[in-house]
Amino acid sequence: MAFLPKSKLWRTIIVLGGFTLLVAIFYAEENWRGKRAWENCKRELEARGEIVDWDKLIPPPVLDDQNFFKAPKMQEWFVNNWHSDTNELADRLRDVKFQAMTASVSTATNLIQTADEAKDYLVWSDQSKPDFDLIGDALKRPYARMEGDYREPIIIPIPDFVSIRVVAQMLSQRAHCYLLLGQPNKALDELTLLNNLRRTMEAAPSGKPITSIAMSINLAAAGIYLNTISDGLHLHTWREPQLVSLQRQLKKINFAPIVAKSFELESATWCWTFKNLLRKYPNDPSLWQNLKHFRFPWGNYMPSGWVYQNMVTIAKLQSKLVDSTDFENGTILPERIETERRQAKEIHNHFSFYTFLARFATDADLSKIWQTTAHNQTLVNEAQIACALERCHLAHGKYPETLDALAPQFIEKIPHDIIGGQPLHYRRTDDGKFLLYSVGWNEIDDGGQEPLTKGGVIDYTNGDWVWKN
């Protein structure tokens, strides 16, 4: 009778021992496999110049007298203050803007139509001229490093979207007013200030870190800048000196590397976050304590290899999105981006221990970011050409038959279509104007047509990307 319980006990011990051994082998295999995959991935990406370690994205310090954000008021005005819902500069400018609009017939940005309205707006907004002068003086400093703690990505300083947008809108409005009053020199001064403020989002001299917020602000401010250039061309107010200056500014704008750096930052941030799941803290409760209190912090007890595999997933996906841009030739490849979008969607739709964390870090529609980037860069390239066309028109009283006639007198080199790398489409129209367009995201020449969505806005996914003139 005593032998049977002893036999069962030994069998139980053997089964438990075998199970424990299998679990140990499973953990060891998964951990080895995941760590090896991550080391190989990191080595491959670093060989291509891509950064995956957060520590390497920390910007080096710069001298205070060389740093835009160390100039008086700049850190306070243009860096987000998590402890306050208000921004003194933005609140003051919005108040001035409101007063100016109530004094005029038109109340929407860049819809001031008459010289009297323009004069009224300038009088009211001149109240903020000391602020703009202070910003202009600060922009003489060549570098832009926000002050803050960069040791961990979750606490780094980020720009204040609202204050930069409000300043950009007011400078644009002031430029528009000067254009209406036939004062292109003053309009150029306002736009130059706007453009230089936008460039602080590029974090000179190191170009790191570029957050998604900084990238979005850069693109949004550039859109305001480009719309105002277009206003002046439509009004035929710009003259040769201003057009040359604008072309010089436009030539320096290149969004794709900036967006690529923001992807690099996102990848490093999420990898840092995932890796912190593996950290052991001095006061962490033991496994027995967690089980005793019915807690099971899976992040502490799942195989570390799964975390590394998820790091591989997100790093490779972000890297492939960057590969969808040919920096050397200045092109973006929509078809390849759409392929990566579908892969990201698969990660969202299908569970795997190697991707379940990456689902939180992966936007299933990342193609929208590149689409916006491509569209804005197309407008930049078209704006360069439009300025050259206006110079040609001023010199000869008409637009040329082909874009080739512009170089080298009116433009050093004619920008190509960022979609596919072919020449942009151009022709003169019967009303004495011109049609200039890119084939757009669908990579099809639709003859300069811009279809509308059901909501009545331009569908930038289909149709061409047309310069307004």
| CATH numbers and ranges of domains, the chain | 11-49+279-365 (no CATH), 64-242 (no CATH), 369-469 (3.30.700)
Q: How far apart are CA 390 and CA 388, in angstroms?
A: 5
**What percent of the chain clears pLDDT 90, i.e. is strictly above it?**
57
DSSP, collapsed to helix, strand or coil, labels residue 60 as: coil
Strand partners, 331: 326
DSSP summary character for residue 424: P
CB 311 within 8 A of CB 271: yes
| CB atoms inside a 10 Å sphere around CB 242 | 22
Distance CA 171, CA 173 (A): 5
pLDDT of 136-185, one tens digit each?
999 999 999 999 999 999 899 999 999 999 999 999 999 999 999 999 99
In 3-state terms, what secondary structure has residue 48?
coil
The secondary structure of residue 454, as a DSSP letter, is T
The structure's pTM equals 0.87
Read off the pLDDT of residues 178-188 as tens digits, 9 standing for 90 and up. Answer: 999 999 999 99
Token couple for 467: 């310069």
Q: Which value, to the nearest 10 degrees, does the dihedral of the CA atoms of residues 282, 285, 287, 289 take?
A: 150
Phi, psi of 399 (to 5 degrees): -85, 150
pLDDT in tens, 373-382: 999 999 999 9
Whether the CA torsion 263, 268, 271, 273 is positive or negative: it is negative
Contact, 328 vs 374, CB < 8 A?
no
CA distance 217 to 26: 47
**Sequential DSSP letters for 316-377:** HHHHHHHHTEETTTTEE-HHHHHHHHHHHHHHHHS--TTTTTHHHH--TTTHHHHHHHHHHH
CB 383 within 8 A of CB 229: yes
Residue 300, pLDDT above cutoff 70: no
At 106, the pLDDT band (50, 70, 90 cuts) reads very low
Burial of 408 (0-12, 13-18, 19+ CB in 10 A): exposed
